[in-house]
Amino acid sequence: MASPEVAVDVTTPTTVQTARTRSARGNIVFAFAIVLALALAYLMREILLLLYVSALFAVVLSPVIHGIMRLHIRRWHPGKGWAILFLMLSVGTAASLFFAFALPPVLHDVQALVSELPTRGPQLLDELHRFPLAAHANFSGISARLQGFASNFAEYLFLSISTWASKLADVGAVIFLTIYFMLEGDEAYHWVLSFFPQSARGRLNATLLRADVRMGKWLLGQGSLMLILGLCSLIVFELLHIRYAYALAVLMGVLNIIPIVGAMVSMALVVLAAATDSWEKVVGALIFYAIYAQVETSFLTPRIMKSSVDLSALGVLVALLMGSKLAGVIGALIAVPTAVLVTELIDEYLVQRDEAIPAGQAS
């Protein structure tokens, strides 16, 4: 009877040392690749931010596109391309109508103010002197500063134009990329999923789809806040008889989508319009917005965002603070949808849930 063969380990110390050397070299190469990827991401951070913002806008606008696609005109219903075109035309038409009706009165008053400035200038200074807080102000120093600003206005204007041209180029890039992601976002999405193992794609896909639904509801909540602010502003501005009440109310509502900065810009315009008539209107407008800001922060935003994107008030506040700190206005604008995405990923992959204990085994 033949004796069974015994497996012999032929691994030599030299082979083990070679494997360890190759493993160490692989780890070093992988570390260098990670560092190189992080360095490239830092150098291209502005481009990556534009790509992320565009993809996020495409996700947020997807419920609007799907709603347009569900419209039926007899037997025809629009496809995705027609829905995107209809959305763009609607936004462009609304903006054109707003500027067509809002700008002419403003331009007319500005021209009248410029023509009357030589005679109304001394009157304005006299009124400022009679103002209690400005009785002892040094207007000669202010005048000198204004003259210095006027002498450097050409340089300031050139720098401002170049800066705004760069910002407008970024806005155009975001619009173009958003349209691209809405048209071909599914292909890009599945391409990104292909980088993950087959066994992990199903779970990640389900998580991202849940985040997509919640992020789409953010626009509904934000639209509700914009509508409430616009209507309240219109009522108050009409009661105070502030000039351009309709245009300013629309701006207040639309710019509310940009946290902090939008409110500052819109209120600056309201104060400027009210100051052309009386200081009482300025004080009334400021009191209105101070009260509304408190109501929105403590009551409206927590409840509307809680019902739409299922985020707590603390989560919304922390997201806005972090977003504005990391990326300024753009960061604050996309803070809440990003928080929804991060929350969904953390809830799926990091939160450890207790398994249900049968009733008979409960202590």
Q: State pLDDT tens for residues 156-167.
A: 556 666 676 777
Tell how many helices (H) and how many strands (E) occur in the chain.
12, 0
Residues 257 and 295 in one domain: yes
8 A C-beta contact, residue 106 and residue 246: no
Do residue 313 and residue 224 come from a single domain? yes
- H/E element holding 197? none
Q: pLDDT band at 349, cuts 50/70/90?
A: confident
> Higher-confidence residue: 31 or 154?
31
Say yes or no: 276 and 328 in one domain: yes
* Residue 290 and residue 174 share a domain: no
When pLDDT is averaged across residues 25-54 and rounded to a whole number, the result is: 84
State the CB neighbour count (10 A cutoff) for residue 236.
21
Cα 21 to Cα 86: distance, rounded to the nearest angstrom: 62
User: Is the domain of 172 the same as that of 300?
Assistant: no
Q: What is the DSSP string of 102-128?
A: HHHHHHHHHHHHHHHHHHHHHHHHHHH
Do 171 and 280 lie in one domain? The reply is no
Burial string for 311-344 (b: 16+ CB within 10 Å, else e) reads beeebbeebbeebbeebeebbbbbbbbbbbbebb
- 361 lies in a domain? no
Q: What is the mean pLDDT of residues 292-312?
A: 80
User: Do 164 and 239 share a domain, yes or no?
Assistant: no
Could you tell me if residue 241 is inside a domain?
yes
Average pLDDT over residues 245-250: 90
Between 45-59, 69-83, 302-316, 319-333, the lowest mean confidence (pLDDT) is in: 302-316
Within this chain, do residues 162 and 53 fall inside the same structural domain, yes or no? yes
What pLDDT is stored for residue 12 in this prediction? Answer: 62
For residue 214, tell me if it sits in a domain: yes
298/230 same-domain check:
yes
DSSP annotation string for 219-282: HHHHHHHHHHHHHHHHHHHHHHT-TTHHHHHHHHHHHTTSTTHHHHHHHHHHHHHHHTT-HHHH
Question: Is residue 174 in a domain?
Answer: yes
Helix (H/G/I), strand (E/B), else coil: 1: coil
174 and 225 both lie in a single domain:
no
The structure tokens listed for 33 are 């690749």
Is 94 a domain residue? yes
Give the structural domain span for 53. 43-71+78-115+144-195
Residue 14 lies in a domain: no
If pLDDT is split at 50, 70 and 90, which confidence band does 358 have? low
Give the bridge partners for 76, in sequence order.
73
Does any domain span residue 138? no
Task: Say yes or no: 234 and 179 in one domain.
Answer: no
Which whole-number Å values give the CA distances from 136 to 120, 122, 130, 143, 280, in the listed order? 21, 17, 10, 15, 21
Q: How many structural domains does the chain have?
A: 2
CA dist., res. 146 & res. 124, Å (int): 15
What pLDDT is stored for residue 363 in this prediction?
45
Least confident segment among 5-14, 55-64, 236-245, 323-332: 5-14
Average pLDDT, the chain: 78
Tell me, what's the pLDDT at 233? 92
Could you tell me if 214 and 248 lie in one domain? Answer: yes
**What pLDDT is recorded for position 70?**
85
For residue 190, being part of any structural domain is answered with yes
